[in-house]
C-alpha cells in the first residue's frame, strides 16, 4: 500500500525549472493508512511506517513521469501487537516470505488542475496486479523549516486483497481494503544524487549509429554529437534514470547526396528540431546476467513516443563503464519521411539504433 504513495507523485502536472526532476520521500512526512471491514461490526485501521520511493517528474510532458516505491511489509502497525502478528502471518501478508511490496507506475492521466489518476502495477504477497490512484496535489513550495523545495499530496485507492492471494476470513473480513495516503516529497538536484550511480559519457569513445532498409539495400548513418546525464547502478535500478540529448544537426551518412535530404523538413527537420531527447526512468533486468532494458520516451521532431533501449553492460567498474544497446524506431511515429515507403525513396518504416557508450565517474 505504501507503494501507492509514490503513485500520486506521478501526477506532477506542475512545471519545474529544468526537465525531469527527482523527488524522494520525506520519511518524516509519509502516512499510508488502510482500513477494512470486520464482519460489519467495525472497520479496523492500520498503517505502514517504512517505505522508500523515487519520483521522476517530467517538466514538459508530465504524462511521462514515473514513480517507483518499495514498502517494507514488516512495518505494518495497528497499535495492537496480537493483531499485527496475525496480519504479518501467512494468513495475510506473510512478511517472512514477502518482506517487500513494490509499485511501479505505468501511466498518468491528468483529470483536473490539481488532480490525476495514476495507474501502475502493485506487487504484493508475490502477486502483481493493476492499481489506480486518485491523486490530489496539495501544495508545492519551499518548506520553511528545511528550506528545500517540497511537494505535498494526497491519494486514495481501494484494492481487493483476494487478487493478491489473501483470502483468509472472506467474506466476513472484507475483501476490499481502502488506502489513504498523505505524503511529502523533497526535491533532489542531479548534483545531490548518489555519486556512486552518476556517470559521465566519454564522447570521443562513444557512438550512436542507425541503419534502415532502402528497397533491398542496407543504408547507415550516425549522430556525431550526443551527451546527457546517466544515473545507473544495476543493483539499484529503482534510483536509476537517464536523459540523453542528441544533436540532430550532427547527423551523418555515408552518402553525401542523402545528407541534405535527411536534414530537410520532410525528414529530420534539423533546423526546426535541432535536439532529440531520450529519457528513461524505468529499468528492467532482462534474462541475461548483464542485460537490461531502459523503458523511456524519445522526443524527436516534436513527437514523444515510448521507446525501449535494450543494452548489455560490457564493463561496470568503480570508475569506468561500457555498454552497447539497440532500439527500434518507426519513422512514421515521428512523421519522418512519407508514410508510404514507395514515396520515401524506398526507405522502410523500421529504423534500428545502435548505441555504444563509454562512461566514467
In the block, cell 556517470 appears at 199
- Residues 202, 190: Cα–Cα separation, whole Å: 19
Q: What is the pLDDT of residue 40?
A: 94
Q: What is the pLDDT of residue 164?
A: 96
Answer whether 6's CB lies under 8 Å from 26's CB.
no
For 270, list phi and psi in degrees, rounded to 5. Answer: -65, -25
Answer whether 70's CB lies under 8 Å from 58's CB.
no
Q: What is the pLDDT of residue 8?
A: 36
What are the grid coordinates assigned to 7, written together? 503513485
> What is the phi-psi region of residue 114: left when phi exceeds 0, alpha when psi lies from -120 to 50, beta otherwise?
alpha
> What is the phi-psi region of residue 147: left when phi exceeds 0, alpha when psi lies from -120 to 50, beta otherwise?
left
Task: For residue 61, count CB atoms less than 10 angstroms from its CB and return exposed for 0-12, middle for 13-18, buried for 19 or more.
Answer: middle
Q: 3-state class of 341 per DSSP? A: helix
Strand partners, 159: 177
- Digits of tens for pLDDT over the chain (361 positions)? 434 333 333 333 333 334 567 888 888 898 999 999 999 999 999 999 888 777 777 767 777 777 787 888 999 999 999 999 999 999 999 999 998 888 888 888 989 888 889 999 999 999 999 999 998 988 888 889 888 888 888 999 999 999 999 999 999 999 999 999 888 989 886 555 555 678 999 999 999 999 999 998 898 999 999 999 899 999 888 788 999 999 999 999 877 777 888 999 999 999 999 999 999 988 999 988 899 999 999 999 999 999 999 999 999 998 899 999 999 999 999 999 999 999 988 999 999 999 999 999 8
Q: 3-state class of 184 per DSSP? A: strand
Task: For residue 143, count CB atoms less than 10 angstroms from its CB and return exposed for 0-12, middle for 13-18, buried for 19 or more.
Answer: middle
Q: What is the pTM of this model?
A: 0.53
For each of the domains in the chain, give its residue range(s) and CATH number, in order of start: 2-191 (2.40.128.110), 195-360 (2.40.128.110)
Amino acid at each position: 500500500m505504501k507503494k501507492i504513495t509514490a503513485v500520486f507523485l506521478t501526477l506532477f502536472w506542475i512545471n519545474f525549472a529544468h526537465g525531469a526532476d527527482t523527488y524522494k520521500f520525506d520519511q518524516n512526512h509519509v502516512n499510508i493508512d488502510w482500513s477494512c471491514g470486520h464482519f460489519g461490526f467495525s472497520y479496523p485501521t492500520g498503517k505502514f511506517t517504512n517505505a522508500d520511493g523515487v519520483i521522476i517528474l517530467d517538466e514538459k510532458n508530465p504524462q511521462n513521469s514515473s514513480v517507483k516505491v518499495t514498502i517494507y511489509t514488516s512495518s505494518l502497525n495497528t497499535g495492537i501487537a496480537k493483531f499485527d502478528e496475525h496480519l504479518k502471518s501467512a494468513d495475510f501478508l506473510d512478511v517472512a516470505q514477502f518482506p517487500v511490496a513494490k509499485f511501479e507506475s505505468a501511466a498518468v492521466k491528468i483529470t483536473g488542475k490539481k488532480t490525476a489518476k495514476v495507474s501502475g502495477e502493485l506487487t504484493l504477497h508475490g502477486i502483481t496486479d493493476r492499481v489506480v490512484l486518485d491523486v490530489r496535489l496539495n501544495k508545492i513550495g519551499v518548506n520553511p523549516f528545511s528550506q528545500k523545495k517540497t511537494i505535498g499530496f494526497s491519494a486514495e485507492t481501494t484494492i481487493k486483497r483476494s487478487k493478491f492471494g489473501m483470502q483468509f476470513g472472506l467474506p466476513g473480513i472484507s475483501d476490499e481494503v481502502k488506502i489513504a495516503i498523505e505524503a511529502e516529497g523533497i526535491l533532489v538536484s542531479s548534483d545531490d544524487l548518489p555519486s556512486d550511480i552518476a556517470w559521465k559519457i566519454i564522447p570521443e569513445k562513444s557512438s550512436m549509429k542507425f541503419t534502415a532498409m532502402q528497397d533491398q539495400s542496407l543504408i547507415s548513418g550516425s549522430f556525431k554529437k550526443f551527451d546527457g546525464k546517466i544515473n545507473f547502478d544495476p543493483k539499484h535500478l529503482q534510483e536509476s534514470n537517464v536523459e540523453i540529448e542528441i544533436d540532430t544537426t550532427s547527423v551523418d551518412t555515408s552518402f553525401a547526396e542523402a545528407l541534405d535530404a535527411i536534414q530537410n523538413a520532410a525528414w529530420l527537420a534539423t533546423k526546426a528540431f535541432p535536439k532529440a531527447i531520450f529519457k528513461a526512468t524505468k529499468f528492467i533486468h532482462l534474462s541475461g546476467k548483464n542485460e537490461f532494458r531502459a523503458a523511456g520516451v524519445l522526443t524527436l521532431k516534436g513527437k514523444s513516443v515510448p521507446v525501449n533501449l535494450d543494452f548489455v553492460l560490457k564493463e561496470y567498474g568503480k570508475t569506468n563503464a561500457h555498454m552497447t544497446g539497440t532500439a527500434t524506431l518507426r519513422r512514421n511515429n515521428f512523421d519522418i519521411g512519407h508514410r508510404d515507403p514507395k514515396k520515401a525513396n524506398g526507405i522502410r518504416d523500421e529504423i534500428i539504433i545502435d548505441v555504444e557508450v563509454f562512461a566514467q565517474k
